[in-house]
């Protein structure tokens, strides 16, 4: 059996998400697939991590487990030192809402809502801010992604690049510790892809978040602090880019 590469340690950084020996099976009986075979990973604040590898190697499965959307069959997972893998469903939802931000390849905005309303949706669930405070924060985030003039535009009337920027702002809405992005630039042209990636990494670094993004784009992977290469359900290599 292949072995996962040892986890490198970034001594000066604060670990905010850590997993060890994650395993996951998908499907049943004859179609059962061992998609994660003991994955270990550590994400630190202010760092951008890329997960790369061929299709079907388990990148998205890993992302969903780290994002508390799926449960591992084995292994441990902790956020800010607290074990979360065995928490009840409602508590996982609360942790997702407060500590994690998601960005998907296809922006997945709520089509009936305006840009600012989309960003306020996670804030409403968190319930820490008043309506005007939520509105102000959402407007600030949209301003940060360059959409300050399109606050009240219905999301379906935004271009693909604009929609993905709204999705980035939405991922930051509750000031999460970790952002998980599943090919966030995969559906954009090169210019938009570069713009969205730059925006995302700048925001993550300036706001001291941890970012794990899944990508097939070698250029984007090389621009990340860390690259974790996956193959057949294992991380076979971790390396740090010299930026």
- Contacts with another protein, residue ranges (CB under 8 A): 60, 64, 67, 69-70, 89-90, 93-98, 100, 102, 104, 106, 108, 110-113, 117, 121-122, 124-127, 170, 174, 182, 187
SS3 of 164-215: the string is HHHHHHHHCCCCCCEEEEECCCCCCCHHHHHHHHHHHHHHHHHCCCEEEEEC
Q: Which is nearer to another protein, 94 or 205 (CB)?
A: 94
Q: Which is nearer to another protein, 30 or 90 (CB)?
A: 90
Backbone angles phi, psi at 67, to 5 degrees: -85, 10
Return the axis-axis angle of helices 160-171 and 131-144, rounded to nearest 10°: 130
Residue 148: CB minimum distance to another protein, A: 22
Q: Which is nearer to another protein, 69 or 151 (CB)?
A: 69
Contact 167, 107 (CB under 8 A): yes
- The residues, any chain, with a CB within 8 Å of residue 58's CB and separated by 6 or more, are 24, 35, 36, 37, 39, 230, 232, 233, 234
How would you classify the pairing of strands 48-52 and 226-231?
parallel
Backbone angles phi, psi at 219, to 5 degrees: -60, -45
Residue 53: CB minimum distance to another protein, A: 16
Residue 175: CB minimum distance to another protein, A: 13
The torsion region of residue 16 among left (phi > 0), alpha (psi -120 to 50) and beta comes to alpha
User: In Å, what is the CA distance from 60 to each residue of 10, 24, 112, 153?
Assistant: 24, 12, 27, 31
Q: Which is nearer to another protein, 92 or 210 (CB)?
A: 92
Residue 225: CB minimum distance to another protein, A: 24
Q: Which is nearer to another protein, 159 or 241 (CB)?
A: 159
Residue 32: CB minimum distance to another protein, A: 16
Residue 89: CB minimum distance to another protein, A: 7
Q: Which is nearer to another protein, 48 or 171 (CB)?
A: 171
Residue 183: CB minimum distance to another protein, A: 12
Dist. CA 150–CA 148, nearest whole Å? 6
Q: Which is nearer to another protein, 13 or 125 (CB)?
A: 125
């Amino acid at each position: 059996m292949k072995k996962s590469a040892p986890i490198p340690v970034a001594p000066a950084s604060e670990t905010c998400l850590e997993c060890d020996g994650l395993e996951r099976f998908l499907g049943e009986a004859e179609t059962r697939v061992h998609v994660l075979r003991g994955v270990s990973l550590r994400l630190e604040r202010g760092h951008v991590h890329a997960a790369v590898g061929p299709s079907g190697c388990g990148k998205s499965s890993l992302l969903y487990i780290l994002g508390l959307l799926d449960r591992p069959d084995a292994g441990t997972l902790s956020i800010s030192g607290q074990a979360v893998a065995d928490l009840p469903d409602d508590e996982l939802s609360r942790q997702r809402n407060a500590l994690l931000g998601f960005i998907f390849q296809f922006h997945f905005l709520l089509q009936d809502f305006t840009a600012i309303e989309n960003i306020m949706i996670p804030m409403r669930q968190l319930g820490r801010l008043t309506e005007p405070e939520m509105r102000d924060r959402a407007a600030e985030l949209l301003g940060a992604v360059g959409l300050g003039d399109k606050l009240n535009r219905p999301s379906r009337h935004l271009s693909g690049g604009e929609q993905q920027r709204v999705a980035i702002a939405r991922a930051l809405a509750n000031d999460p510790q970790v952002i998980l992005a599943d090919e966030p630039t995969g559906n954009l042209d090169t210019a938009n892809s570069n713009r969205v990636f730059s925006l995302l990494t700048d925001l993550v670094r300036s706001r001291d978040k941890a970012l794990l993004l899944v990508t097939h784009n070698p250029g984007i992977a090389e621009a990340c602090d860390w690259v974790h290469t996956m193959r057949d359900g294992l991380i076979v290599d971790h390396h740090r880019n010299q930026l």
